Amino acid sequence: MLYTREVPYVYPRDSIYYFNRRIPKDLQRHYRCDRIIVWLHTKSPHAAKTKSVTLATQLDEEWFTLRWRQKDNPLRRLLGDEEYEPSNAPFISKAKNIYLDSKRESRPLTFSQAVERTVSNLMNAVGDKPIDRYSRRDANLLRDNLFERGLGKSSVKRMFGTLAALLNFVAREQGLSDIKTFSGIYLGDSDPDADSRRQPIALNGIRSVQRQCEELNDEGRWLIALISDSGMRLSEAVGIHKDDVVLDHEFPHIILKPHPWRRLKTRGSERFLPLVGSAWWAAERAIQSSTTNFLFPRYCNEIECKSNSASAALNKWLSPRVPKGCVIHSFRHSFRDRLRAAKCPQEITDRLGGWSVGGIGQSYSSGYPIEVLSKWMNEAML
């Protein structure tokens, strides 16, 4: 492994640069390995040099502090921060496995993928450490690294939420104090893209999309049409089993309930949803055409619900057909607006959309009869 004076502690692998520095023998007891290796996310020698110098400087400072603390220093008793003391907490790489072993069975594949990706990003940014030895500085470095790579504020926020959940779960399991290092991280005052995302689609735009769906008459268009007049979340619609669809009824409807391949977002998401308009047309076509037990076999099977793949494909088709800032989820926003325009009572609106209902009294009983729900759906959607 060769280094140059121009780019110290750096070597290329498949044109990508990595930082590589051996840990001094007298300090190796503080680490899980004898070498620090960090992916620098660049093919540029100049950028690699800059990042290498920064990392080397940080390590020199850290090692100086470690050595200073190891000595019989009379000032050491005055320190309140014992960050470099040996820790009994698991390293983040092991904590990840503890978390996934406990949680993955009841979660979709995307859950495990998100945890793996988040921990990988953390380790690449600041290394593999005991979970109670990460500092606020580490959290800020991770944040800056993610933003430098072009991730949006919402994506970074999700990753920090994943980290906080993982650390708190493992800390409780291991009998450790709560870890707040990755909670409440400052991500900026505003999201410049917030106003351009998930805007509702006007009724004339919805009708235009529905007409084009009927003309193309394929699986992707059935999925869009189903959502357009039902207000379902994309994952809810993608994961529908044929047994969930009741067409031979005075009031055709879908029974939305959790399945092993697709969980529901909240307890209130479990509901009866009348089929009217384009949603009824789409459900009927999908039932007749599917050769499996699922309404949309391209995106769902007994193992997983591929809502991310569906989102990418459907939004690509929708993009030139709806106003800027509108996506597949925009139909859900429009759904609420259409119910509001029909003067549908808020409690029924919340039931139909699977939104949380207010007041403890509203959580009792089995809800409204299907004929009442169907009445409001017909008034709002047709």
The model's pLDDT over 168-186, given as tens digits with 9 standing for 90+, comes to: 999 999 888 888 888 888 8
* CATH 1.10.443.10 residue ranges for the chain: 203-381
pLDDT at 71: 56
297 touches 291 (CB < 8 A): yes
Separation in Å, CA 6 to CA 45, 50, 51, 302, 324: 9, 10, 13, 54, 47
Q: 229 exposed, middle or buried (CB, 10 Å; 0-12, 13-18, 19+)?
A: buried
pLDDT at 357: 62
pLDDT at 322: 93
Phi–psi pair at 13, nearest 5 degrees: -140, 120
pLDDT at 53: 85
The helix-helix angle for 153-173 and 109-126 (nearest 10°) equals: 90
Q: How many helices (H) and strands (E) does the chain have?
A: 13, 6
pLDDT at 359: 46
Residue 152 gets which letter from DSSP? -
pLDDT at 212: 96
**What CATH number is given for 92-194 in this structure?**
1.10.150
pLDDT at 153: 86
* CATH 1.10.150 residue ranges for the chain: 92-194
pLDDT at 364: 42
Helix, coil or strand: residue 245: strand
Helix, coil or strand: residue 242: helix
CA–CA–CA angle 187, 193, 198 (5° rounding):
115
Instruction: Give the Cα separation of 225 and 210 in Å (integer).
Output: 6
272 touches 367 (CB < 8 A): yes
pLDDT at 176: 86
Instruction: Give the Cα separation of 280 and 284 in Å (integer).
Output: 6
* pTM (2 d.p.): 0.61
**What CATH number is given for 203-381 in this structure?**
1.10.443.10
Tokens of 272: 């009866």
231 touches 331 (CB < 8 A): yes
pLDDT at 196: 45
Q: Which residues of the chain have pLDDT under 70?
A: 1-7, 68-86, 189-198, 357-367
Beta bridge partners of 35: 22
